[in-house]
């Protein structure tokens, strides 16, 4: 038995779950059209759009353009945009193992080449509470915190020493004193800021996964899920067909953003 097994709390998603609510729970607030390959939203309801040409555009909550990042040829296709801090954005280019750090006006602050730090395989990165960067090193099986120059600040033990099978997280979120690593095939692994494993939440297979405030959001087929981290309660909504057949979703505490072919539809839900 692994020595950490005694401290893992199995929080089963859905242990307290309400009945799926009707599709009248969703109310369309606005639509935003454009060339949209992918998108994300921050906690101020700003929307960040990645176009088919790899341009990044920032829109405010009303859909008005605020800033544009056009330096796209140098880095190729961005695989992740982290906007957990609206004043500091992270663009991750997985194929080049490069992180581009932007300010709130999408001006480049610094560029981090992870290969120069001997970090050679990464799927997930995320911003830390103190404006540093979390990186999961798939070769060393360690969660690492690095500075804006790529220097190592801290790291966990090798996950192969903690688990029978090390996770391979696709998402990293830093929220309210904990770091959440999501491996869609296994679970959500929760760590404190010292790298100690605290909880293992048995959420898996959820798509469009996001930690926002005290909630974990996700979807599976036509069901929207919201897991309350403090109460362990899972609420669910049955989405109407015109919503659940969207290409992708994103969330804030009370908003659902649904990406159709060339439009983002913003819904309130309750």
Q: What is the pLDDT of residues 205-249, one digit of tens each?
A: 999 999 999 999 999 999 999 999 999 999 999 999 999 999 999
Q: What are phi and psi of 86, to 5 degrees?
A: -60, -15
Predicted model pTM: 0.88
At 16, the pLDDT band (50, 70, 90 cuts) reads very low
Please report the pLDDT score of residue 253 as a whole number.
Answer: 83
Please report the pLDDT score of residue 162 as a whole number.
Answer: 86
Please report the pLDDT score of residue 15 as a whole number.
Answer: 40
Stretch 95-112: mean pLDDT, rounded? 95
Task: Retrieve residue 21's tokens.
Answer: 């609510």
Please report the pLDDT score of residue 122 as a whole number.
Answer: 97
Please report the pLDDT score of residue 4 as a whole number.
Answer: 45
Question: Looking at residue 243, what DSSP letter applies?
Answer: H
Please report the pLDDT score of residue 147 as a whole number.
Answer: 96
Summary count for the chain: helices (H), strands (E): 1, 26
Nearest to 150 by CA among 119, 177, 196: 119
Residues 265 and 257: their CA atoms lie apart, in Å, by 6
Residue 250 has pLDDT above 90, yes or no: yes
Stretch 168-192: mean pLDDT, rounded? 96
Using CA atoms in the order 11, 15, 20, 25, what is the torsion angle rounded to 10 degrees?
-50
Q: What are phi and psi of 242, to 5 degrees?
A: -65, -15
Neighbours of 75 (CB within 10 A): 17
Please report the pLDDT score of residue 146 as a whole number.
Answer: 98
Kindly list the structural domains of the chain, giving each domain's residue range(s) and its CATH number in brackets, ordered by start.
Answer: 3-10+35-213 (2.120.10.30)
Please report the pLDDT score of residue 24 as a whole number.
Answer: 59
Please report the pLDDT score of residue 8 as a whole number.
Answer: 42
pLDDT, averaged across the chain: 89
Give the bridge partners for 43, in sequence order. Answer: none
Percentage of residues of the chain with pLDDT beyond 90:
77
Residues 246 and 63: their CA atoms lie apart, in Å, by 19
Q: Worst-scoring range by mean pLDDT, 5-19, 44-58, 139-153?
A: 5-19
Residue 7 has pLDDT above 90, yes or no: no
At 59, the pLDDT band (50, 70, 90 cuts) reads very high
Neighbours of 60 (CB within 10 A): 13
Please report the pLDDT score of residue 72 as a whole number.
Answer: 66
Please report the pLDDT score of residue 76 as a whole number.
Answer: 78
Pairing mode, strands 233-238 and 16-17: parallel
């Amino acid at each position: 038995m692994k020595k950490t097994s005694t401290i893992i709390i199995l929080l089963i998603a859905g242990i307290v779950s309400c009945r799926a609510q009707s599709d009248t729970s969703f109310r369309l607030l606005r639509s935003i059209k454009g060339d949209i390959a992918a998108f994300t939203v921050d906690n101020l309801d700003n929307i960040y759009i990645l176009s088919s040409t790899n341009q990044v555009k920032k829109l405010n909550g009303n859909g008005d353009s605020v800033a544009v990042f056009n330096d796209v040829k140098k880095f190729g296709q961005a695989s992740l945009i982290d906007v957990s801090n609206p004043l500091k954005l992270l663009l991750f280019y997985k194929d080049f193992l490069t992180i581009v750090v932007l300010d709130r006006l999408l001006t480049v602050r610094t560029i981090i080449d992870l290969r120069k730090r001997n970090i050679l395989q990464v799927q997930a990165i995320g911003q830390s509470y103190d404006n540093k960067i979390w990186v999961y090193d798939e070769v060393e099986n360690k969660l690492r915190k690095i500075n804006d120059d790529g220097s190592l600040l801290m790291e966990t033990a090798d996950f192969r020493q903690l688990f029978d099978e090390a996770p391979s997280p696709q998402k990293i979120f830093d929220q309210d004193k904990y770091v959440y690593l999501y491996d869609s095939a296994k679970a959500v692994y929760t760590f404190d800021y010292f790298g100690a494993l605290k909880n293992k939440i048995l959420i898996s297979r959820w798509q469009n996964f996001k930690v926002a405030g005290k909630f974990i959001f996700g979807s599976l087929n036509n069901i929207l899920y919201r897991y309350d981290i403090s109460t362990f309660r899972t609420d669910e909504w049955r989405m109407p067909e015109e919503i659940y057949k969207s290409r992708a979703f994103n969330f804030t505490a009370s908003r659902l953003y649904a990406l159709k072919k060339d439009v983002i539809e913003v819904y309130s839900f309750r």
